[in-house]
Structure 1
Amino acid sequence: MAAASPDASQLPDSPGWFEAARFGLFVHFGLYSLAARHEWVRSREAMSQQEYDRYLHRFDPDLFDARQLARTARESGMRYAVLTTKHHDGFCLFDSALTDYTSVRATGRDLVREFVDAMRAEGLRVGLYYSLLDWHHPDFTVDEHHPLRGTPAEREPRDMARYRSYMEGQVRELLTGYGPIDLLFFDFSYPAKGPEAWGAGQLMSMVRELQPGILVNDRMGVPGDYVTPEQYQPDRPLERDGVPVRWEACHTLNGSWGYDRDNHDYKDPALLVRMLVQSVACGGNLILNVGPTGRGALDPRARATLRAIGEWTELHGRSVHGAGPAGFETPANALCTRRGRHLYLHLPAWPLKHLHLPGLAGRVRYAQLLHDGSEIGFQETDGARHEHNNLAPPGQPAGTLTLNLPIARPDVLLPVIELELAEGE
């Protein structure tokens, strides 16, 4: 993992689409999808290139439908999507003049082209993932992650300068051959290989020159535009020297990025929705990964999970899209976001009849359940007439707003109460 990004507000011409979107789709697809046992299968099992090529010879993504994938992303409430153009195994899903190790040479299909066109057609922002590692390239030096570690290949003469030239050429192809790209996700630096290994400064300068409005992540080892905590959920805004930074939590459905047939450790859709809301409440984004099968389709569990999330976002999307931290004291057992003059209280635990909100008395004009637009009554505690007001809840400090909730919890993954604030709040 690399250095954190600078303060988002200090970035020149910083696009606001990323913060407004809040929710994205990650797609990991490649030769490892045929192995169906994790995207690191070649490294984990120390496969030779010849062994791994059995997947190349059988690669046939006949069920990879980028248009359906784009519709699924949009209907799930996602506003951008990122595809693995090349993962650590070096296999490219795009048409590269620099290697034959591509989906175009294997199948005649440029899957990056299909993906980019489909996402744009659905109105989604487009992101491309590119691995800094490449276990197929003959000049990428053998290190602790390489499948050929512990073999005579460790003593072969390899030239990282030639590899850097290759990598720079491929990034140039991606940023000049597919129109405007909104986001570039490099992956990843580690002790054996950092910014010098990648020529990170020069590569970043080229990216900025080719696509001035692009957002670049933080994994080359030099500052990028946003930080990318992986399989970790922040519970507070991320800061650098006390200044908030732009960030995106990267999560899988089941712990694997690539298709993993026998991994059934799936996260519940309700948990994933809470993770999305928690990200927004802390000023960040969530990107949720799917790993299509070896034939390119989403497996039934992934489809069902995204469908369930989509049913929630259809009713509650405005509590996350364009929203951010609430900026006031959050009640216990609640997650709060704000969008303009509207506060959104997300309630993982449903209270008994009342929800007390200190400091909000006199600041709220209207309250409703977001999923059905049904009004929620409330009363305010001003202290002076507390003891004589039978409607005022006992024991609450002055300035408390108390919502009167129905006994029955709404039948949604995560109930949301929308509060309309008074003018000037």
Structure 2
Amino acid sequence: MRLLQLAFFLSLTLPVFAQTGYQPTAENLAARKVFQDDKFGMFIHWGVYSILGDGEWVMNNRQISVKDYEKLPTFFNPTAFDAKEWVSIAKNAGMKYITITSKHHDGFAMYDSKVSDYDIVDRTPYKKDVLKALADECRAQGIKLFFYHSHLDWHHPDYYPRGRTGLKTGRPESGNFEKYLNYMDTQLTELLTNYGPVGGIWFDGWWDQSADDAGHVGNTAPASKTGIDWHLDRTYSLIHKLQPAALIGNNHHVAPFPGEDFQMFEKDLPGSKTTGFNEAQTIGQLPLETCETMNGAWGFNIKDNNYKSTKDLVQYLVKAAGHNANFLLNVGPMPNGKIQPEFVKTLSEIGQWMQQNSETIYGTRGGPVPARNWGVTTAVGNRVFVHILDWNDRLLTLPAIPGKIRSAKLFTDKSAVKVSQTPEGVVLTMASAPANDAFDTIIELEMVK
């Protein structure tokens, strides 16, 4: 992921074109709908950087040279990694898909790449392909698997001209960017050929060579002062050719380019800009996803005890659904291959909430009432779910909504809620005010068909 201070970019621009004339296949459109229905996924940031316990940006932040960083794989031996355990944790939490780092910005591949030996099989004592094990187990448990893949690469000598990051790694100030892009596309071909059906590719790092995101207009994207072209059209076409149903998303923080199948928002709800990312707040017509951490870090950080509460994360999931978006919640496994017990406990508690309330999340779309300070609405069929997240009164007033309400009841115990509907709005009257410690008080409205 990108550091907050990288919101301040260079100012020069140059057109970069995405997949021109892209028409998604029927398979792809069907996959988009399933993706929107799934609503909840697990993000996994894991690599050799976990050994240092200081997050996935440690190579850049500590200005570690390639020569020194290459020592890390020799210590990486995650013998406690258990793909079945990981997938079970995700599934029990109510998650429908997993997105894992196949290659992060440090350039180290977490699978058995044939185009390079800088990978987990060739450079570590572990000698096993963790992505293969995870792909097999995801299929066994009915969980879709997406691969995060970094555009930028702090290790590869042909990632040149340099972007704004990884400048102290000791690489020669020369290289062939076209050769690097061919290397990247070859690795993507491996991932889309050798691991069965893939849910999609989650790109990150395009912004390393871009200028101010605010300069993005239409299908033209900011680029570096050296004027490099990412050839997104070629890469996107390759992915859609190899697996037409695979969805492409790109964490570039600007409006989507042609060829992309979903739009993502980093550490923010769609349309919001509270964390310094998502310079362009434009929300397109593609399926939406927001991603967030369980503490403050993406990769394992041994000093980060700033854990979000179960209530906070459940409410983030609900808010995402109310904003018509999926919620991709991150874990950063430890170097031994175990997911932190703090994360496991919280995910289990989220799973308990989902067992009781998932009907108001899965398969829904954003409801007829846009997000309010008190909460959000979701909807499916002729049912509208009013999610009350922050309210301490028996009466809740909604703006006018289309259609006629047939009945209203609390979702948990099905007790009746009084409804007064006029052209000016709707007033819901509960028997008692929502409890202060409630994660989510849900009122189900049945609409006349």
Residue 82 of structure 1: CA displacement?
0.6
Residue 215 of structure 1: CA displacement?
0.6
1:228 to 260, 264, 268: 264
Indicate conservation of the 8 Å contact 1:28/1:289, yes or no. Answer: yes
In the alignment, is residue 133 of structure 1 matched against residue 152 of structure 2?
Answer: yes
Residue of structure 2 in register with 1:187 after alignment: 204
Residue of structure 1 in register with 2:48 after alignment: 31
Separation in 2 of the partners of 1:270 and 1:101?
Answer: 41
Separation in 2 of the partners of 1:339 and 1:173?
Answer: 38
Alignment of 1:65-144 (within 5 A): 65-105=82-122, 106=124, 107-141=126-160, 143-144=162-163
Indicate conservation of the 8 Å contact 1:361/1:399, yes or no. Answer: no
Indicate conservation of the 8 Å contact 2:419/2:428, yes or no. Answer: yes
Q: 1:277/1:121 Cα in 2 relative to 1: closer, same or farther (>3 Å)? A: same
In the alignment, is residue 285 of structure 1 matched against residue 285 of structure 2?
Answer: no
Q: 1:256/1:231 Cα in 2 relative to 1: closer, same or farther (>3 Å)? A: same
Residue of structure 1 in register with 2:440 after alignment: 414
Residue of structure 2 in register with 1:49 after alignment: 66
Residue 365 of structure 1: CA displacement?
3.1
Residue of structure 2 in register with 1:364 after alignment: 405
Residue 357 of structure 1: CA displacement?
4.1
Where in structure 2 are there 5+ consecutive unaligned residues? Answer: 3-14, 211-222, 273-277
Superposed CA deviations along residues 219-265 of structure 1, whole A, max 9, x for unmatched, are: 478431122111122357x9998863322112111221100110122
Separation in 1 of the partners of 2:401 and 2:159?
Answer: 59
Separation in 2 of the partners of 1:150 and 1:399?
Answer: 60
Q: 1:336/1:378 Cα in 2 relative to 1: closer, same or farther (>3 Å)? A: same
Superposed CA deviations along residues 362-419 of structure 1, whole A, max 9, x for unmatched, are: 933333332x33312314367xxxxxxxxxxxxxx87644332335628652222222
Please give the secondary structure, in 2, of the residue aligned with 1:376. Answer: coil
Superposed CA deviations along residues 308-345 of structure 1, whole A, max 9, x for unmatched, are: 21121111111111111112466761311111111111
Please give the secondary structure, in 2, of the residue aligned with 1:216. Answer: strand
Superposed CA deviations along residues 261-302 of structure 1, whole A, max 9, x for unmatched, are: 101222222222222222211221111111001111111221
2:415 to 364, 375, 383: 375
Separation in 2 of the partners of 1:5 and 1:144?
Answer: 20
2:291 to 246, 250, 255: 250
Residue of structure 1 in register with 2:243 after alignment: 211
TM-score, length of structure 2 as denominator length: 0.81
The number of residue pairs the alignment matches comes to 404
Please give the secondary structure, in 2, of the residue aligned with 1:274. Answer: helix
Residue 169 of structure 1: CA displacement?
1.0
Residue of structure 1 in register with 2:366 after alignment: 325
Aligned-residue sequence identity (percent) comes to: 29
Separation in 1 of the partners of 2:156 and 2:111?
Answer: 16
Separation in 1 of the partners of 2:319 and 2:434?
Answer: 24
Q: 1:332/1:264 Cα in 2 relative to 1: closer, same or farther (>3 Å)? A: closer
Where in structure 1 are there 5+ consecutive unaligned residues? Answer: 383-396
Q: 1:102/1:341 Cα in 2 relative to 1: closer, same or farther (>3 Å)? A: same
Superposed CA deviations along residues 157-193 of structure 1, whole A, max 9, x for unmatched, are: 3122221221111111111111111111111212636
Please give the secondary structure, in 1, of the residue aligned with 2:377. Answer: strand
TM-score, length of structure 1 as denominator length: 0.85
